[in-house]
Amino acid sequence: MSSTSASATTVGESIVAENASWTFGGNVAETFTDHVRRSVPLYDVGHDLVCKVSDYFIQDGSVAYEIGVSTGALIRQLARRHAKKSARFVGLDIEAAMVDQARKEVGDVPNVRLVTDDALLHEYEPADLIVAYYTVQFIPPKRRQQLIDRLYQALNWGGALLMFEKVRGADARFQDMMSGIYTDFKIDQGYGAEEIVAKSRSLKGVLEPFSTQGNLDLLKRAGFIDITSIMKWVCFEGFLAIK
């Protein structure tokens, strides 16, 4: 029988985490959708935006990937939106528990395949769209460029990467403001001070956001030239990069 460390603290939605040890495994998947909706501003708005942008890239015969599919909510929306096309949607996640939860969420939606695999090692088919929705920020910085390079290579010419990320401020003053406003957001969502601090402590060394410029540099080094920001809420940003 496993035991919970005395230092473990709830971070909301019955999710328990310890210092510098956040994980998407275990029982996190069971309540993750509710947790992330309360934790990330414009979370569902971003889903809707991804679906609308996908209209410009998904055609008959297209293959689309979601990297870090988590509970499957977004890939389900994408597949349903393009149900009349012969497109295929592949959801990857390294956590088996997340993929199991995604299978429940996706149900019998056709043309969706869910795979437990490492996005850095997966053998990609040529794709017209790849979505990374608050995923790349959890890849260790030393391996992050490798992932973006692989995603660029996987895209067909004219295909797109949609990458949503938490971002750091351009300097210390902006970072302080962004952190304070985001803390206010979490308080407004009903999280207590202990939960907010526990979540922040659990993410040390696990969530490593880059600045807006840092993310643009990642994309440019991979080979992307046509890049634009399509959504921004203080320290959360969505990027559209076309090959």
Phi then psi for residue 127, to 5 deg, are -125, 150
- Chain centre distance of CA 205: 17
pLDDT bracket for residue 140 (50, 70, 90): very high
pLDDT at position 206 is 83
Query: Rounded CA gap, 125 and 157, in Å?
Result: 13
Judge whether residue 112 has pLDDT over 90. Answer: yes
pLDDT bracket for residue 115 (50, 70, 90): very high
Domain spans of the chain, in order of start: 1-243
| Beta strand spans in the chain (E) | 9-10, 16-17, 63-67, 88-93, 112-116, 127-133, 155-166, 226-233, 236-242
pLDDT bracket for residue 3 (50, 70, 90): very low
Task: Calculate the average pLDDT of the chain.
Answer: 90
Judge whether residue 97 has pLDDT over 70. Answer: yes
Average pLDDT over residues 178-205: 89
Judge whether residue 5 has pLDDT over 90. Answer: no
Among 1.10.287.90, 3.40.50.150, 3.30.70.1520, 3.40.50.300, name the CATH number for the domain at 1-243: 3.40.50.150
Query: Rounded CA gap, 6 and 14, in Å?
Result: 16
Distances (CA, A) of 9 to 36, 39, 109, 190, 201: 17, 17, 37, 17, 10
- Residue % of the chain over a pLDDT of 90: 76
Picking from 36, 63, 32, the residue whose alpha carbon sits closest to that of residue 47 is 36
Which is higher by pLDDT, 47 or 205? 47
DSSP summary character for residue 160: E
Residues 6+ apart with CB under 8 A from 225: none
Query: Rounded CA gap, 222 and 158, in Å?
Result: 15
Judge whether residue 4 has pLDDT over 50. Answer: no
The total of other beta-carbon atoms located within 10 Å of residue 187's CB is 12
| Encoded amino acid at 99, one letter | V
pLDDT digits (tens, 9 = 90+) for 75-91: 999 999 999 999 999 99
* Residue 64 three-state SS: strand
Phi then psi for residue 99, to 5 deg, are -65, -40
The answer to whether residues 88 and 62 touch, using CB atoms and an 8 Å cutoff, is yes
Average pLDDT over residues 204-228: 95
Which is higher by pLDDT, 20 or 219? 219
pTM of the model: 0.90
Residues 6+ apart with CB under 8 A from 186: 38, 39, 196
pLDDT at position 86 is 97
Which is higher by pLDDT, 47 or 10? 47
Phi-psi region of 219 (alpha: psi -120 to 50; beta: other; left: phi over 0): alpha
The total of other beta-carbon atoms located within 10 Å of residue 185's CB is 18
